[in-house]
Amino acid sequence: MMSEIQEARNSRITNNKAEVMLVTSIALISLIYLLAQSIPVLLRIIGTIGVTLMAAVSLIITIRTTKKTYSSPIWRVFIALTLAISLYFIGEATWDAYSWLISVDMPYPSIADISWLAGYFLQAYALFTLLKLSSINLSFRTKLVWFVASGLIFLALTYTLITPLLSLEEGLPILFFNLAYPIGDIFLFLLALTLIIFIRKVWLSLIWLPLAASSLIEFFADLSFSFIEARGAYFEGHPVDMLFTFSYALFAYGVYKAGDCIITLKTYFSKNPTKFTPKMSMHDAFSESLKLNHEEFLGKRLLLEFDPRSNYEDAVVDLVHEALSYGESVIVFTQKGSNTHQRLTGQHHVHLILLVEGFITPKHTRKDELLIYGQDLWMITETLRNMVRFEKICLIYDNLTNMILSIGFQGTYSFIRFVAELMEGSKSISLFLLNSQAHKNTIVSFIEGQFSDHLIYDQKGFRAIKLIALKVR
């Protein structure tokens, strides 16, 4: 008992380390900035070299994270973020070189601005790719409303921000950058705002919120700088520099947390070998109870409707043992503490993915189980993507009822279709459980329509209702 308490305490400390570092760094930077108000040289250092150092830290964290996420389906997002922060760092370093080495008081516009603007495109690409990779299931009406709203926001911001700049008597290069920054910022702002508003509707994980928030801070920082500089009120060490520093800090935190989740999923399966030689004799209790053989179930997606008062877990356990006896990798999604969890915990070669209430980032337990947030559909699908490289799979999802009640019917339907497409053409077996008594007949009928093969386990026992091509009744 004491070891479990200590494990939980250590897990919380490890999981909160990034948050502690983020808050500490922001608090420390703010304190130093306040203390430097009476020291012009220190204020200038903070507004130039200090910002560059934070960009460098963000770059290092992003590069290390990107290397570890190699071969992940989301890798191109990290590549785009790495290139973006690289360009931001080059821009900051170039600004410092102008300021400290060449003694240019206001290096604007300069090569640094070209680097920053190029980074905008790559960061926008990363955010746009995230939206495309998500399981977007917005209705046509919602998409139309948001499209119109985004257009109106764009026009309003463009008119408000750009019109005053056009009246300034500046040269063509300065005018170009005065216009390029607001336009780039507006696009980045709209993408980040879309992510934040629809992050749950498009079933995108909450782990991407810090990156979206970083883009919003960058938006306000850039606009503030443009207007302050246009009026000749900017000086190195201006409070607007702190916004850039905070944006880089949040960027680094967002990349680290998102990467940590991807890496955790990737290493979980690599540390749990899936190729093994069965050490038990053939166990066909699941197949024999339906008067079939195991080979006849290969490539099937099975829906098991159960009565919670029955011993339906026996069928799940029988399938697990049968799959293991045939050398198949078993992946089980179930609620932490469920009967299925209790029956299978400690079983060798069984990957237990435990769905928990309350947002957490994926983490291992001492029993080689993986904890993920039960309402994070994106994280669940990423977990499944990590398992598709396995040659022989038996997937069990316990159960669809909890998913419907937590994320809704639309999200559950998207999940079922995702699994169907992911496992199309394979010889993998997948079993989805559904407590049909907890839903209306219309929902049950629709779920049944997504499966060709239908089983039932109630107080009368375990039996097949429909098995396509086997003509079982």
Q: What is the pLDDT of residues 78-115, one digit of tens each?
A: 999 999 999 999 999 999 999 899 988 778 788 999 99
pLDDT at 246 over 90: yes
With cut-offs at 50, 70 and 90, classify the pLDDT of residue 397: very high
The Cα 42–Cα 247 span in angstroms is 21
Q: What is the pTM of this model?
A: 0.82
Helix residue spans in 97-208 (DSSP H): 111-133, 140-166, 172-198
In this prediction, residue 470 carries a pLDDT of 47
In this prediction, residue 9 carries a pLDDT of 42
In this prediction, residue 383 carries a pLDDT of 85
Q: Is 262 helix (H, G, I), strand (E, B) or coil?
A: helix
pLDDT digits (tens, 9 = 90+) for 444-464: 999 999 998 999 999 999 999
pLDDT digits (tens, 9 = 90+) for 187-217: 888 889 888 887 766 567 788 899 999 999 9
The Cα 322–Cα 316 span in angstroms is 10
77-86, 223-232, 345-354: segment of lowest average pLDDT: 223-232
Beta bridge partners of residue 461, listed in sequence order: 458
The Cα 124–Cα 128 span in angstroms is 6
Q: Is 53 helix (H, G, I), strand (E, B) or coil?
A: helix
In angstroms, the Cα distances linking 402 to 357, 399, 405, 411, 438 are 11, 6, 5, 12, 10
Beta bridge partners of residue 304, listed in sequence order: 433, 455
In this prediction, residue 165 carries a pLDDT of 63
The token pair at 456 is 């039932």
